[in-house]
Amino acid sequence: MRTIQAYRFALDLTPGQERDILAHAGAARVAHNWALARVKAVMGQRAAERTYGVADEHLTPTVSWSLPALRKAWNTAKPDVAPWWRDCSKEAFNTGLDALARALKNWADSRTGKRAGRPVGFPRFKSRRRTTPSVRFTTGAIRVEADRQHVVLPRLGRLKLHESARKLARRLDNGTARIMSATVRRDGGRWYVSFTVEVERADRRPRRPGSVVGVDVGVKHLAVLSTGEMVANPRHLDDGQRRLRVLGRAVARKVGPDRRTGQRPSNRWQRAANRLGRAHARVANLRRDGLHKLTTCLAREHGTVVVEDLNVAGMLRNRRLARHIADAGFAEIRRQLAYKTGWNGGRLIVADRWYPSSRTCSGCGAVRTKLALSEREYTCQACGLVIDRDCNAARNLAALAAEYDTAGSGPVAGRGANRKTPLAGRVAAKRQPGTATAGQTGTVPPQGGTTNRVLTRAH
């Protein structure tokens, strides 16, 4: 199986190498800002001409937003705009132009409805102090040295790695991987190099190919499996909150930047801000490590994994639980399971967002019309089953695998996922409040049964 994979390694740079990388990142920013100013000038001119009553055929000609057109215009203007352009690799300027071309395309597709999701705003100019330094190389000498402790990049030369690159080097030596690009980026006070690699992965099978597991994510427990196993939520952000508050107050006491007056930050503010950034990076690394271990274990063990299509953006609007939900990383769990199940020969089934997994009895299939947020145990008034709320939801998710095999590919709606209550269900609800007969559909709250269920997992 051929796939695109990323390998990320920390770097140990000398002061001179760091200055060279910052110069390349600055060159990318200059090219981006120049091209954006050119596009905005033409757009503004055309808008002004329309107000004067100029016909469309007589307006100022438009400027192409494609990467080849932006690169051609930059090559013509760079002797005047950046006389120092020979000091940096051409890939540095291409990095900024490529980022602008993608941003303009996303903005245009969002306006015309071709791009789903939230509306995308118009690109902004990149600031020298607030932009994350980054530069991407796609051509030239990009390789891992034989000692597996150094990498070679165009114009930057030989860079020392903080860790061994043996995993990538083995694939390169065996001919099962090909480096497509390399990106150098500063994150949390440390420099990293990320290789985008085309990898030929061997076909694998899960340890239990016929096993089906439902995964119900939450805040109280990071994940509850249909097997009964409950994965504890490490709450890395809560553990590091005290130190983050101390470091945040230390930053607030220093003389920081002020864009209104043009005041530059003091050296002490910069050092304090770097300490705060490293603390945040440590929390993010701990969270990432835990999620990778969980998803890898699930993908390698079970042949079928069933998760929910959660409205994470809607959950984050709950001010009481937003921080805990963001710390858990619901969307990251699903994203990692999506590609890891494919790597290991399994499959991932995504339940419909409106499927009432919490309100459905895993024993008889009865659907309750309402389930209070404070009820941590599910009690079925039809069959008398008493079970943990999260475990009940996980079992219902696992049961959807059979419906998926019948319905085919795509999100599985399951019982009660059409957002409506049939007439028989409404009559039954009036006769016996809080219950529904087996197979009937319960009324889904405005935010969806799945969303409300996850929001209940507070302390």
Question: Per DSSP, which regions of 63-142 are E strands?
Answer: 134-137
Going by the DSSP 8-state scheme, the letter that residue 3 receives in this structure is E
Q: Catalytic residue at 216?
A: yes
Q: Are 257 and 129 in contact (CB under 8 A)?
A: yes
Out of 308, 332, 375, 377, pick the active-site residue.
308
> Which token pair is 90?
């051409």
Q: Cβ neighbours of residue 452 under 8 Å, at least 6 residues apart?
A: 358, 373, 445
| Interatomic CA distance for residues 358 and 376, integer angstroms | 10
Residue 418 amino acid letter: N
Residue 101 amino acid letter: A
Residue located via tokens 């399951």: 414
| Interatomic CA distance for residues 458 and 220, integer angstroms | 6
Going by the DSSP 8-state scheme, the letter that residue 141 receives in this structure is -
Q: Catalytic residue at 390?
A: yes
| Interatomic CA distance for residues 228 and 388, integer angstroms | 10
Out of 20, 91, 98, 216, pick the active-site residue.
216
| Interatomic CA distance for residues 150 and 373, integer angstroms | 54
Q: Are 212 and 304 in contact (CB under 8 A)?
A: yes
Three-class secondary structure of residue 276 per DSSP: helix
**Catalytic amino acids?**
216, 308, 390
